[in-house]
Structure 1
Amino acid sequence: MCGLAGFWQRHGGAADTLQQQARAMSRRLRHRGPDDDGVWCDEAAGIALAHRRLSILDLSPAGHQPMHSADGRHVIVFNGEIYNHRELRERLRAEHAAPAWRGHSDTETLLACFAAWGVERSLQASVGMFAFALWDRRERALTLARDRMGEKPLYYGWQGDTLLFGSELKALQAHPAFRATIDRDALALLLRHDCIPAPHSIYHGIFKLRPGHLLHMPADRPRQAQPTPYWQFNEAVSAGLDAPLVASDADATDALEAQLGEAVGAQMLADVPLGAFLSGGIDSSTVVALMQARSSRPIRTFTIGFSDGGYDEAAHARTVASHLGTEHTELYVQPEDALAVIPRLPEMFCEPFGDSSQIPTFLISQLTRRQVTVALSGDGGDELFGGYNRYLTARTTWEKAQRLPPLARRAAAGLLRAMTPAAWDRLFDGLKPLLPRRWQLATPGDKAQKLADVLTLSSGQAFFLNLASQWQDPTRIVPGAREPSTLLTTPEASPPTDSLAQWMMAMDAQTYLPDDILVKVDRAAMASSLETRVPMLDHRVVELAWRVPLSQKIRHGQGKWLLRQVLYRHVPRELVERPKMGFAIPLDRWLRGPLRDWAEALLDERRLQQEGYFQAAPIRQKWKEHQAGRRNWQHQLWTVLMFQAWLERNRTGGSA
């Protein structure tokens, strides 16, 4: 895990100037790579590449970047890991295409593959997470690329005659050509999704390269180049549905355990201490169990706990760790510890980001980095194996609602809205001893209001967009904005399935997962110089998951059925079976308590009006309702607050 940055100005430049500008960009990424740094430039071509290194494989100088290919043709800055790079070396050797190796880094392997097979074939042969910039000295062409599932970030964009690119926006901001013009359309996307989906960014003219894409820019027409896919998620969906895994439950469990176990084993390769996040839930427990099965010594596992029992998973993690025999570390976090993170968020997340689980994610990353440099994570299990409650809702609430006439749906919505959310909460709290576990909901009042909205929708796609949205009509909140189309609203990007639950899983894997979950994990971990790896997102696991029939993912009203069967081979089910909790903080109460003054200052009506990015009235209305306890608007308000805090820091010269 490292950081890369660079620029390409086609009019050339003095070597000293190129070096200074590249080093300024690199310094902004020191947290991503504190172990080493390097800069390379070609003054005639006007290209400069900068790299910050977090040493994981080949700790010797042979792993230094920017790295040149053996024949001198290519120069690369690379962020990530190629897990099968040893196999690639064997293939090159068998083809008599292997150079005299200088070290054992995966970056050197990748350069040799480019020389032998070309970029696209090499990427298709590679298993890993990565983003890189590759300069072809002979062709005078630049190629940017990003891994299949979007684990590693890569921003790019033309600012005047200069192309800027880097792992984080803060590196681009360090170049004198950068122009910090906020994109109101992207701001509307932020309000809807809590994040800004690729290819958009908060700034005009700056984009995120989409997962599974490369951008090849030849010297004669670089500005006309467009990103092209070398791997497409929807093709994996289509191939899986066309050739489903026809197997008994036991055989399907064997197949998943073997493939996921292979991915876990490959990702345990490191020349530095390694561990894993452990929440005690299905996903992280499965990854840790497979790690421990492949290790001759106890795996180091880490969790954080909160004194608030409704948000605390530490006891569950401790029980799983004890059963598996890991070397377990836990830290109980006090509210003041979490609150102290908030001022750091606008710098940590270089564009505004509204998922409040960013706070506990940073805290567990900080704890983990004290002992190890690499941590495996269980992210991806929900999207691949049907873990989110909304997939169950799609198969129950939505399908049942569609059987009702429109008039009946509207009447039911009216009944749900007749009681306030607080009244629904009181009702469910009183009935809790009598309700089955699946009806013991967190915030039932807000869920009742959301269900009322859902009952009036016209299609499954509209149903999903409603569930995936925080502000339902963000252009009403952002003056002058026109919300751009995204994968969720582009018909040609629609996954090839008639099952609403599977369609939702595929859309989440291409939107929510890379644009929210993986952004959160990357930035929060990198702020502590910690590399995270996600075995569930090995593309071979992804492709197998889409061969698994839906009946082996969601069964008896429970998601991740097949993944659970793998885990039960290692951990008794009673240790991990409990309602899904999520990685959260008591944000609703904090906004009424210790964060109230901070939030009030950022949401001051005159301030909102003067800045001009938001209509003040609807935001103030939600703030008043939240403070009065009439509604829980924590998520909608937090997204606005994160933009306001980010804007304040950038306006006062923090990272811009």
Structure 2
Amino acid sequence: MCGFAGFFLFDDPPGREAALRLVRTMARTLAHRGPDEEGVFAEEDGHFALGFRRLAVIDPSPAGSQPMVSACGRFVLAFNGEIYDHAELRAELAAAGHVFRGHSDTEALLETLARHGPEEGLARASGMFALALWDRRERRLVLARDRFGKKPLYSARLGDALVFASELRALLRHPLLRPARDPEALALYLRFGYVPGPRTILDGVRRLEPGHLLVAEADGSFRLHRWFDLVAEVRRARAEPLDPRSGEATEALHALLLDATRRRLVADVPVGLFLSGGIDSSLVAACAAGAGAELPAFTIAFAHAAHDESAHAARVAKALGLCHHVRPCGERELLELVADLPEVFDEPFADASALPTLLLCRFARGRVVVALSGDGGDELFGGYTRYADTLRLHRRLRYLPRRVRRLAAGTLSLLDTDLLRALGERLPALARLKPDERARKLREVLGASPEWLMRAIVSHHHDPRALYRLGREPEDPRWAGELGGIVPDLPAWLQLLDQLQWLPDDILVKVDRTSMSCGLEVRSPLLDERIVLLSWRLAPDAGGTPGAKEPLRRVLFRLLPAELFARPKQGFSPPVHTWLRGPLRDLCEELFAPASLREAGPFDPARVRRLWREHLEGWVDRRFELWNLLCYVLWYRRWCRAARAPEEMAA
């Protein structure tokens, strides 16, 4: 696992030495991703340069160093990630007569790309990756990301240059890039708590989407191409349904889980695993033990019993014979990490679960360089309660004609306070809200389509323009029913939405940044592409139960006693609502001061003060809105304060 940065100049190259100086400066901002080694490459006239920071995991010798030049001398590769089928790729190339210099997965990938071309070569590779492939003969650059977006890659067209990097911080070291914010991206952030791709918070900077490659030619032309189409693959998988309750399905999933885990155990450095005691991490741990691996397991023990799963994790570790390392964690330790968030995430990010994830990664890094995780289980097998919540709401509302629902939504604002209070008593989820908030929520529910119901459930700020008038949310066809023709049943539709947005832009960003901030590589067996596609053959309309993760349970109960998991899904979300009223109150008072809000947004100070007052007085739980703003203002102060964005100047 590593990081890279580079640029491709279409005119007026600066010469090799100047190019090397600049690309080395960019790459050194990524030293946390690759603490073991630095490498640079530049063409003689400096029109192309590539810098690399290495975390040596497979073949730590100089034979695995990057940027790596192909045996034929035509191609140069910088690659961040791991190729799990590199042994198979190597065997195929060796059978064709290729002689390898070392045993790194980088060399196997590079020679596969050189032999088969970018698209076919990527299709043969199983793994997590972002890469830059430079064709010296054709003066052509190919940037590519893996199928599901496990590894990041950003790019920007700056005049006659294309610059690219693993993180935004490296792009910011290029003299042509200034941190001007994208108002539409900020509006999206306010809604979701992260910026959905391909946008980024910086104007003109784009995140290459999962399964895509970008080809840049010497004449300055570009071609964006989807080399892996998840939606098309889902359509094909669902054409061959498999009953998830059948022995055939359980056997197939079990075999894939074992093989995916076995592949991810290959490393020339110490490997461990995260263990929460839940279904996903326990299944990965059991598969690793089944493959004969004796791995250390790492768990965080939280002070509050309601959030602590360490006792469950200990029972799983004992059953599997794992060496179990537990890190006690008090509230104060998590609070101290809040100040680190804008450094770890160089783009606004408001998923509070990043705090315990960061603590866990730092704990594990003290003993291992690679850790296996259970990420992906909820998204693939319906583990989130929001799927069932949305389905239940939709089923209740669909008996009302759409015209009646729209009419009811339009007249709610005319109802008096007593009637709204009565409605709240009949709908407990609304009982805590003030009357005007209650009316707004009811209007959203009555007037919403299924995908918009879930959008309302996952939103932080339900009306970003009321807070930030400079940004209007762009339309996204995925949230407007586009996927309905592909997966017409609602639970699967919602899961596909999550796999296209929530998974790559929140979950995998969180895992990548928290782990790589301390030089730890995290591998996710459940996100093996073969398991992802099998999960769609086992979709809910084929007999599954939304939210039950039944196929995973059936495999798990082959490996561990079922009584270890006879409890509701727990998870951990930091008590942000109490922090805001307590230990974070002084910080919030500073960040939410009118002058601070006008500078960072500009945001409407009166609206923010209202949200803040309602939360402090206990009228409404505003944790999501306020944590979202807190993370954004902290990010702004770290990355943008020195350069005022153009929209601020206009305002």
TM range (shorter): over 0.9
Q: 2:635 aligns with which of 625, 646, 655?
A: 646
> What SS is found at the alignment partner of 1:511?
helix
**Counterparts of 2:606 and 2:173, CA distance in 1:** 36
Residue 239 of structure 1 is matched in structure 2 by: 236
Tell me how large the CA RMSD over aligned residues is.
2.6
Change in 2 beyond 3 A, CA 1:611/1:301:
closer
Residue 285 of structure 1 is matched in structure 2 by: 282
CA contact (8 A) 2:27 2:53 kept: yes
The alpha carbon displacement at 1:620 in A equals: 1.5
The alpha carbon displacement at 1:80 in A equals: 0.2
| Cα deviation digits, residues 261-310 of structure 1 (max 9, x gap) | 1111111111111111111111111111111111253x211111211222
Change in 2 beyond 3 A, CA 1:632/1:226:
farther
**Counterparts of 1:293 and 1:446, CA distance in 2:** 50
The alpha carbon displacement at 1:551 in A equals: 5.3
Residue identity in the other structure for 1:362: L
> What SS is found at the alignment partner of 1:594?
coil
Q: 2:575 aligns with which of 586, 590, 594?
A: 586
CA contact (8 A) 2:421 2:431 kept: no
| Cα deviation digits, residues 471-496 of structure 1 (max 9, x gap) | 11212221221212335336556670
Count matched residues. Answer: 633
Q: How does 1:601-640 map to 2 (within 5 A)?
A: 601-640=590-629
Counting aligned pairs with the same residue, the percent is 42
Residue 130 of structure 1 is matched in structure 2 by: 129
| Cα deviation digits, residues 614-639 of structure 1 (max 9, x gap) | 12222221111111111111111111
> What SS is found at the alignment partner of 1:309?
coil
Residue 534 of structure 1 is matched in structure 2 by: 524
Residue 438 of structure 1 is matched in structure 2 by: none
Change in 2 beyond 3 A, CA 1:417/1:207:
farther
1:315 aligns with 2:311: yes
Residue 432 of structure 1 is matched in structure 2 by: none
TM-score, scaled relative to structure 1: 0.91
The alpha carbon displacement at 1:458 in A equals: 3.3
Change in 2 beyond 3 A, CA 1:451/1:81:
same
> What SS is found at the alignment partner of 2:537?
coil
**Counterparts of 1:617 and 1:138, CA distance in 2:** 59
**Counterparts of 1:552 and 1:521, CA distance in 2:** 31
CA contact (8 A) 1:31 1:526 kept: yes
- The 10-residue stretch of structure 1 (578-587 or 343-352) with the greater mean CA deviation from structure 2: 578-587
Residue identity in the other structure for 2:371: A
CA contact (8 A) 2:179 2:640 kept: no
Residue 160 of structure 2 is matched in structure 1 by: 161
**Counterparts of 2:480 and 2:103, CA distance in 1:** 43
Residue 648 of structure 2 is matched in structure 1 by: none
Residue identity in the other structure for 2:551: L
| Cα deviation digits, residues 288-342 of structure 1 (max 9, x gap) | 1111111253x21111121122222222212211222111111111111111111
The alpha carbon displacement at 1:398 in A equals: 1.5
> What SS is found at the alignment partner of 2:234?
helix
Residue identity in the other structure for 2:261: V
Residue 255 of structure 2 is matched in structure 1 by: 258
The alpha carbon displacement at 1:640 in A equals: 0.9
Residue 475 of structure 2 is matched in structure 1 by: 485
Residue 86 of structure 1 is matched in structure 2 by: 87
Change in 2 beyond 3 A, CA 1:446/1:197:
farther
Change in 2 beyond 3 A, CA 1:653/1:571:
farther
The alpha carbon displacement at 1:553 in A equals: 7.0
Residue 14 of structure 1 is matched in structure 2 by: 15
**Counterparts of 2:533 and 2:395, CA distance in 1:** 27
Residue 379 of structure 1 is matched in structure 2 by: 375
**Counterparts of 2:54 and 2:390, CA distance in 1:** 44
| Cα deviation digits, residues 425-458 of structure 1 (max 9, x gap) | xx98xxxxxxxxxxxx9x9957996974553133
**Counterparts of 1:4 and 1:39, CA distance in 2:** 9
Q: How does 1:56-205 map to 2 (within 5 A)?
A: 56-94=57-95, 96=96, 98-205=97-204
CA contact (8 A) 1:386 1:553 kept: no
CA contact (8 A) 1:495 1:503 kept: no
- The 10-residue stretch of structure 1 (510-519 or 558-567) with the greater mean CA deviation from structure 2: 558-567
| Cα deviation digits, residues 354-386 of structure 1 (max 9, x gap) | 111111110000001011000111111111111
| Cα deviation digits, residues 158-183 of structure 1 (max 9, x gap) | 12222111000001111111121111
**Counterparts of 1:558 and 1:625, CA distance in 2:** 33
**Counterparts of 2:313 and 2:54, CA distance in 1:** 32
Change in 2 beyond 3 A, CA 1:19/1:321:
same
Change in 2 beyond 3 A, CA 1:328/1:454:
farther
> What SS is found at the alignment partner of 1:375?
strand
Change in 2 beyond 3 A, CA 1:444/1:154:
farther
1:397 aligns with 2:393: yes
CA contact (8 A) 2:381 2:548 kept: yes
Residue 206 of structure 1 is matched in structure 2 by: 205
Residue identity in the other structure for 1:77: A
CA contact (8 A) 2:30 2:170 kept: yes
Change in 2 beyond 3 A, CA 1:14/1:567:
same
CA contact (8 A) 1:209 1:227 kept: no
1:349 aligns with 2:345: yes
| Cα deviation digits, residues 20-58 of structure 1 (max 9, x gap) | 111111110000000001010014251110000001000
**Counterparts of 2:325 and 2:228, CA distance in 1:** 38
Residue 519 of structure 1 is matched in structure 2 by: 509
Residue 421 of structure 2 is matched in structure 1 by: 418
Q: 1:369 aligns with which of 365, 370, 383?
A: 365
| Cα deviation digits, residues 167-210 of structure 1 (max 9, x gap) | 00001111111121111111001011110011000111100000
CA contact (8 A) 2:19 2:46 kept: no
Gaps of 5+ in 1: 429-440
**Counterparts of 1:285 and 1:589, CA distance in 2:** 31
**Counterparts of 1:583 and 1:614, CA distance in 2:** 31
TM-score, scaled relative to structure 2: 0.92
